[in-house]
Structure 1
Amino acid sequence: MRAITALRGRVRATLATVSLLGLGVTPVVAQSAQSGDAPARSASTVVQTTDGKVRGAHTTDYDEWLGIPYAADPAGANRWKPPQPVTKWSGVRDATAFSNRCAQNSGWDPGYENTVTSEDCLALNVYVPDGARAKTPVLVWIHGGGFTGGAGQDTNPRRFVEQTGAVVVTVNYRLGVLGTLNLPQLQAESKDGPGNYGLLDQQAALRWVHSNIARFGGDPKNVTIAGQSAGAGSVCDHLASPTAKGLFARAGILSGGCNLQSAASGQAQSEAFVKAVGCDTSSQVVACLRAKPAADLLAAQKKAGVSLSLGGSAFPVNPATAVQTGAINRVPVMLGQTNSERGLFTFQNYDYLGTPMTAAGYETAVRSAYGANADKVLAAYPLSAYDTPGEAFTAAQNGSTSYTRQQLMGALSKWVPTYAYEFAESDTPHFTSIFLIQQKSESARDFPFGGAIHVDDLGYLWDYLGQTLPYDDDQLELSHQMITYWGRFAVNGNPNGARTPAWPKYSVRTGKLMSLVACDTSPASGRAPAACSKATDTFDEEHNLDFWASLPS
């Protein structure tokens, strides 16, 4: 890793004393979006919302309002119902602390060491830069976590807010079986909700933004929705949702795809869950389920998980089909990935558990993943070409994932302005959870992740999971550049502007996308640290996409 250990002390000092705003670049959103004599937002942190007054807090360079409910408590009788209206309050509600996280099993992320059983969690957080004027662009961030974990508070957008001048909103939504259960009995109660309650929560949050964000200085007509992993999949789901029309003007899809399983598949999974939790023999299945403690539901979820599925007026068509046919909400899109997405999952599913992949395990995994094409994949990625079976599997998975992502880039580019990228800073410190594991485990430090893994790019946009990572000075410049690109996209759907490399619209004909990477500036050279991002057409070659394109679908 590029001199990270030696630079750690210097970088920490830099992070502690210099904000990105202090690099001499005018905030890109504030400069582009604010004009005329629009009044500045009130300096008071008390804001009147449609449900009542909330009091936030002043912090350095921005104000924040935390834990504002956008829907009622979804527990008890509201379990597995579409989000219900908030009960209005009198007086001033404190909004200086995060709400509960939504119910979820424990995981390796810091703060998630224990199971979370709270259901009263449908809240959002609003971050507003100092001096924000009327009609400031808004970015609504949808967190990842496989639709089973995470919370809006995982993302601290202070750097993004300070540098761009944008308003940022982060959101909680129902997770796991509480957000995905799909049963005929639930469909009889409501045509909307079964299979996709968590997605309906996100749309309820977007409607709250449209009704309230102007009171915080934001522009409800200039909302960008963006997310990573499961959050990215959510964004694509909303692209294909008729009921999301008009709720956003731009979309960002970071390391995610476009797909919802059928209602029939969701019901089959849900029936297995009902059996696992012990409600299959009840004459009143839904009543039995609603009476179960959240802890029991989470325990059963480990045995029989349920994924999102199609259904209702909000999600009538698979987003994978919608993007191919153009039946989407037509807004500009930024989308992309890291250059070794699957390295994380090889580590997580094998080496982290103390069971590194064997040669036999490699063949089994390839046959499970690629079915009738497995022999061709095994020939294209022979064990003899790699140091370990895990590296071979990561390479194959990176190739197939990149091919799927390229197909999504091409499909979207037929209908909307599409800006594609790959985060290729392979020398980066890995994201918080892996970084912390590596401090304790030599095997984790030595694991061949293969480049920038899933989630590694998030730390370049915001403080993720409360950890400041030891980026070197070139990587800090890359962070500044990425925030600049995203800030411009939030203004008008185009990341291009002065003092950054030109980012071409994606087209199938050229295949050009932006490769986001830091330079490798030697401290002895006398040159200033810098980003070395550039448009490239080598994505196909780097990920062996001709091979993946040759396989029968």
Structure 2
Amino acid sequence: MRARGGSRRGRGSGRGVGGPIRRAASVAAVLAAAVAAVLVPLPAQATGGPGGTGGTNGALVHTDAGWIRGQATAEGRQFLGVPYAEQPVGRLRWKEPRPAKAWHGVRRATEFGNRCVQTSSWDPGYEKPSHTEDCLDLNVYTPGGRSAQRPVMVWLHGGGLTAGAGEDVVPDTFARRTGTVVVTVNYRLGAMGFLATGGLDGEASDGVSGNYGLLDQQAALRWVRANIARFGGDARRVTVAGESAGGRSVCTQLASPTARGLYRAGIVESGAYGDCAARERRQAVTDGAAFAKKAGCPDPKTALACLRARPAKEILAAQAGFDWAPVVGGAFLPVQPEEAYENGSAARVPVLNGANSDEGRLFAFGQFDGQGEPLTAERYPAALTEAYGPELGRRVLRRYPLAAYSSPTHAYAAALGDRMFACSALRMNTALAGRGPVYAYEFADRTSPPFASLRDLDTDFDFGATHVNEVQYLFKHFGLVTPLNAEQRALAGQMVQYWGSFVRGGAPRADGAPTAADQRTRPGRVLSLRTASAGGTAISATVHAEHRCGLWDAVPAG
């Protein structure tokens, strides 16, 4: 289990913030085998053109790089493992993404592509690390029927920018129920996606390295703009969405001038942590030099060539302990996202932004109970001092007294989650409201079942509405159907309606429930997503106070 973020700790600590090892052969051999495996002759009877209507069940589509054949399912059509960029292997390691090379014949698009380089985790299917760099693929899900001009949602996975893959969610049912086309994306992770060095700065088009993973996301959005009409999608109505590190990616793309025109709306789920702050260039380059030394490439004059010659397995082994995140200062991200929101330079598009009511419980579990050492009442004050320092720790202790919580771990979790997620999201709403519609939500189903990575753990820990838990209400998480009860299924249906109406271009709405409040006209009003027995979904004016944001807004983001 990983909090979508790094080493094995609670899933929120970095993956909400895995993959089988492919054959160990040379790059050339792997590429040759891959081409042989996925290319088959173009059938003479194929007549598919724009919209992808040729072939069996409309599953044959001509992209700008060549023909692909997907498959029909009970929910519609799906096209898996479609390359959107030239694979970043060999000399293209730590290069900005380039358009995918054309191929001849028909490429089978019926299996997920490789996962990008990452460690193993407890998430289903991630029991072994992945050392594959040829991973810049995406997956397209469309409803049945021949309708064209459907709105599009591009989903960016979580994983702390060090883990995960587009396949982590299967949104086929969401696509059918909402009448949308959904695209899920792989992008480079960890050191492969975010290494910054002086040598790489010299190769970067804007003089600032370290943004390869998010540039991959922009390349995928450009692929969508060029190709999605052939799948029945409308390139003018693209919503970029994501959870945790995927949500953080969205809030970064909102501030990136080079992403302008690639989407018309954004959805940020639990992604505003740390106020979406990027690394400063000087620190990123300093860390890059330290990483190179750790990886066995200490000489600055030869470090880049040395690193490019290192096997992916060795790069992965050296990346632990470093912060892998976007870098501010170049054309991709001229200023910090928070500054872009406040000075009006961020994209002026509608945004749906929110967090979960118990985000911190996953992280606190990973830090204490998950390690077999539940936090005790005696240890609680010291744990707060370690986390926040003596002065702030005393203030936190007063605001989060043990008597108000079922356990010391839950008390610690409340402070952690409020600071990292709830209050950061509310601040982001305020900052964004000056440049377009902003709709705030909070997922508050405290009866929600733990998401798939946690369900097999031998624990009775109450995770509540923790980090990642809302994802399973929208999609098949890790391809699995979550065991929801009747009330939870009803809430899941509402959430799909809210998200779907927003993707289609309107305010988030659901049958028999209130429309989400626009923060421009109803600031601080949050759509609280709850089951009927907990009062039902409603507009709340107390979220800021419930999460003690008066305290956290006065201290640096965590």
- Shorter-chain TM-score: what band? 0.7 to 0.9
Within the alignment, does 1:399 sit opposite 2:418 as a pair? Answer: yes
C-alpha contact (below 8 Å) 1:194/1:311 kept by paired residues: no
Equivalences for 1:199-218 in 2 at 5 Å?
Answer: 199-218=214-233
What is aligned with 1:518?
A: 531
- 1:368 deviates by 4.3
CA–CA distance in structure 1, aligned partners of residues 215 and 133 of structure 2:
16
Q: Which residue does 1:19 correspond to in 2?
A: none
What is the aligned partner in structure 1 of residue 289 from structure 2?
A: 271
Q: CA deviation at 1:388?
A: 3.7
Q: What CA distance in whole angstroms lies between the structure 2 residues aligned with 1:540 and 1:508?
A: 17
SS at match of 2:533: coil
Q: Does 1:321 align with 2:368?
A: no
Question: How far apart, CA to CA, are the structure 1 residues paired with 2:522 and 2:75?
Answer: 44
Structure 2 residue 211 is matched with structure 1 residue 196: yes
- The equivalent of 1:481 in structure 2 is 494
1:69 aligned residue = 83
Is 2:435 the partner of 1:422? Answer: no
Q: Map residues 374-393 of structure 1 onto 2, 5 A cutoff.
A: 374-383=393-402, 385-393=404-412
Amino acid in the other structure paired with 2:253: H
Unaligned runs of 5+ in 2: 1-49
Trace 1:60-459 onto structure 2 (pairs within 5 A): 60-192=74-206, 194-257=209-272, 258-281=276-299, 283-358=301-376, 362-371=380-389, 372-383=391-402, 385-401=404-420, 402-437=422-457, 441=458, 444-445=459-460, 447-449=461-463, 451-459=464-472
How far residue 353 of structure 1 moved from its aligned partner, in angstroms, is 2.0
Tell me the CA shift for residue 549 of structure 1.
4.2
More helix, by proportion: 1
Q: Which moved more, 1:368-377 or 1:472-481?
A: 368-377
Query: Distance between the aligned counterparts of 1:544 and 1:235, measured in 2?
Result: 26
Identical aligned residues as a percent: 44
TM-score using structure 2 length:
0.85
After superposition, where does 1:483-502 map in structure 2 within 5 Å?
483-496=496-509, 499-502=512-515
CA positional deviation for 1:361: 5.3
Q: CA deviation at 1:496?
A: 2.7
- Equivalent residue letter for 2:491: L
Bigger mean CA deviation after superposition, 401-410 or 50-59: 401-410
Structure 1 alignment gaps of length 5 or more: 1-37, 522-530
* Separation in 1, partners of 2:165, 2:116: 7
> Per-residue deviation at 1:396?
1.3
Aligned counterparts of 1:513 and 1:221: Cα–Cα separation in 2: 28
- The worse-fitting range, judged by mean Cα deviation, of 195-204 and 297-306 is 297-306
| Matching residue of 2:72 | 58
- 381-390 or 153-162, larger mean C-alpha shift: 381-390
Q: CA deviation at 1:399?
A: 2.6
- Given that 2:53 and 2:59 are in contact with CA atoms closer than 8 Å, whether structure 1 keeps it comes out as no
| Alpha-carbon spacing, 1:282–1:542, altered in 2? closer, same or farther (3 Å) | closer
What amino acid is aligned across from residue 539 of structure 1 in structure 2?
Answer: V
Which letter does structure 2 place at the counterpart of 1:421?
A: Y
Task: Report deviation, 1:383.
Answer: 4.1
* C-alpha distance 493-250 of structure 1, shift in aligned 2 (>3 A): farther
Pick the aligned partner of 1:545 from 544, 549, 557: 549
Paired amino acid for 2:342? Q
Find the counterpart in structure 1 of residue 540 from structure 2.
Answer: 536
Contact preservation (8 Å) 1:40, 1:132: no
Partners of 2:80 and 2:111 within 8 A in 1? yes
Give CA-to-partner distance per residue, 1:425-470, whole Å, 9 cap, x none.
0001011101122xxx1xx22x243x20000000010000122221
360 and 115 in structure 1: CA distance in 2 versus 1, 3 angstrom threshold: farther
451-460 or 277-286, which deviates more: 277-286
- In 2, distance between residues paired with 1:138 and 1:342? 31
Aligned to 2:364, what secondary structure does the other structure show?
helix
Deviation, structure 1 residue 414: 2.0
Secondary structure of 2:328's match?
Answer: coil
Q: Which moved more, 1:59-68 or 1:543-552?
A: 543-552
Contact 1:132–1:165 (CA<8 Å) still a contact in 2?
no
Count, aligned residues: 500
Query: Could you tell me whether the CA contact under 8 Å between 2:507 and 2:515 is conserved in 1?
Result: no
Question: Counterpart of 2:39?
Answer: none
Inter-partner Cα distance in structure 2 for 1:383 and 1:517: 26
C-alpha distance in 2 between matches for 1:506 and 1:116: 42
Kept in 1: contact 2:51–2:231 (CA 8 A): no
TM-score calculated relative to the size of structure 1:
0.86
In structure 2, relative to structure 1, the CA distance for the partners of 1:547 and 1:508 (3 Å cut) is: farther
C-alpha distance in structure 2 between counterparts of 1:307 and 1:122, whole Å: 18
Residues in 1 aligned to 2:148 and 2:503: alpha-carbon distance in whole angstroms? 15
SS of the residue 1:302 aligns to: coil
CA offset at residue 225 of structure 1?
Answer: 0.5
